[in-house]
Every structure is written in structure tokens, then in C-alpha cells.
Amino acid sequence: MNASSLKLGFIGLGIMGAPMCGHLIAAGHQLFVNTVGKVPAPIAESSATQCTTARGVAERADIIFVMVPDTPDVEKVLFGEDGVAAGLKGSSGKIVVDMSSISPVATKDFAKRIEAAGAQYLDAPVSGGEVGAKNATLSIMVGGPDAAFARVKPLFEKMGKNITLVGGNGDGQTAKVANQIIVALNIEAVGEALLFASRAGADPARVREALLGGFASSKILEVHAERMIKRTFDPGFRIALHQKDLNLALSAAKELGVSLPNTANAQQLFNACVAHGGAAWDHSGMVRALEFMANFEVGQKVQES
């Protein structure tokens, strides 16, 4: 079956899923879609066919993409009543691609259950946020069989730029958890640096500009430092979702006997933000927790004594 004749399914049309699905539609593929709530206008007004259940998507599509918030959501989409697995019965050659960020342990179990239903399984979580989803520049970390990856890779290339087969099922999710550890600790570092500079009386915007040209430069310094300075904490990527990812890291670390002290500290800072009503803030809003402790905000003018 050639790529141009593939029928694709997409389940989960949220902040990330909607633009990702849109790129596949724009590439000329036939899409069957399902989501909780209202289908976003760009998808509803496209050539995509709306299905009332995940089962309906799986029955019609050759490759089914899933992009939902958390492990229980994926399990419900795949194995709940009228879920994907029910739509795979009696078929062969289909591939289920979970692009959500969920538990690596659960992912291995899901893969076995989908294989038992007659399809192959790829876990393919992404990094790059809403901007990356809209611009088709996501990094995609994939776990699963080589043959399934080779078949889906041209579709991944419609949604992202850095596409890597990390290993077997679950390894994509493990890479994503590692990614979220790095991102959280970078946000904390940038927040501390800008808060320090501001409290010392320096202009944080100019400090950021100076640091972008040196060894401290990073995507977090480029994008999230600007959010901290401009006080724009609309997501983006919600703190509640990053908390979920760090919970995956910390629970897995406990099972592995690994200590992740700075990851635990970052989670505590997110917890403080949530306690102040920030579950829906962009994760760059972690700086607010540091500001609460300092009783000072990034960009605030220092009062002369």
C-alpha cells in the first residue's frame, strides 16, 4: 500500500493534536478523526471525516494516531468500550501510533495488547510544544518495530523535523521522560538566573540578550525567558501536564533505585504554582514559585534605599 492511498486516523484534537492532524490533511491524506468535545474549526471545515467513537476511526483507518493527555486517557481510547482495539478485530497490517506522553511501563503493556489484536504499535511522544506542532518542527522520539517505523516515518516528517527511532516499545516514552527532566531543570535554572539578575538591579531582557550569545544559551532561554520577562504565562504547555511527566520520572526512578533530587525539587516548585492557582499556566510559570519565595518578580524595579 503506497503512502498516497493510506487512510489515517487521528484521535485527540487538542492544542497539540489539532495542528498535527492538520498537517496530515494538508499533505493530501484522507483523515478519520475523533476527539472529546467539539472538533476544532480548521479540522471540522476540512476534508476530514468525523467519527463518533475511537472504534470507528480504527475500523476505517490504516494508521491510527493518538494524542491525548495522560496514561489513563490512552488506555481508555485504546481499550475502553468502542475503543481502538475493538476496531482492529478481523483486520491486519494496521499500525497504532501513540504520540501522547505517558508511562513507559504502561506503554509496553499497551503494545502487547494491541499486537494481540492484530496491529503493530509505536510509541512516539513529541517535544516542541504548541509552536512546534503548528510549525511542524516537533522532535519525535519513537519506540517500536523497525518495519512499522519505516512505514510511518514519512507521516512523522509531515509533523516534525528531528525523528529518531530510539528502540523498542516504551523506549520512545523513556526518551520523552528524560526530555521533560531536562526541560524542567532548564526552566528552573533560567528562572533563578533572571530573578537573581532582576533583584540585583539589572535589566532581565538585556541579561537574556547577553546570555543568548554564550554557553548558557538554550531554547528555554530563548523562548521561556521571554515569557518570564513579558509575564505571558498562557500555555503553551500547561504546568499540570509537566507535573504529570515529572511524576512518571519520579515513580520510574523509585522503581529503578535512582535518585533524581533536582527533578523532585522542580516538581515541588510546580506544586507551589498549582497551590497558587497555576495548574493551567505555561510551564515557564515555574518562575512564579521562585518569585513567591523571594517576594520579588522578574522585571520588578528595585526600590532605592
d(CA 128, CA 160): 9
- Tell the residue number behind the cell numbers 509496553, with chain if given: 108
For residue 175, how many other CB atoms are within 10 A of its CB? 22
Range 94-128 burial, b when 16+ CB lie within 10 A, else e: bbbbbbbbbbbbbbbebbeebeebebbbbbbbbbb
d(CA 48, CA 32): 6
236 cis-preceded (ω within 30 degrees of 0):
yes
d(CA 109, CA 28): 33
Cell of 280: 493551567
Q: How far is CA 183 from CA 32, 81, 242, in A?
A: 33, 36, 9
d(CA 41, CA 44): 5
Residue 176 known to be catalytic: yes
Cell of 39: 472538533
Spatial contact of 155 and 203, defined as CB atoms under 8 Å apart: no
Spatial contact of 57 and 32, defined as CB atoms under 8 Å apart: yes
Spatial contact of 267 and 243, defined as CB atoms under 8 Å apart: yes
Among 176, 219, 254, 301, which one carries the catalytic annotation?
Answer: 176
Give catalytic residue positions.
Answer: 176
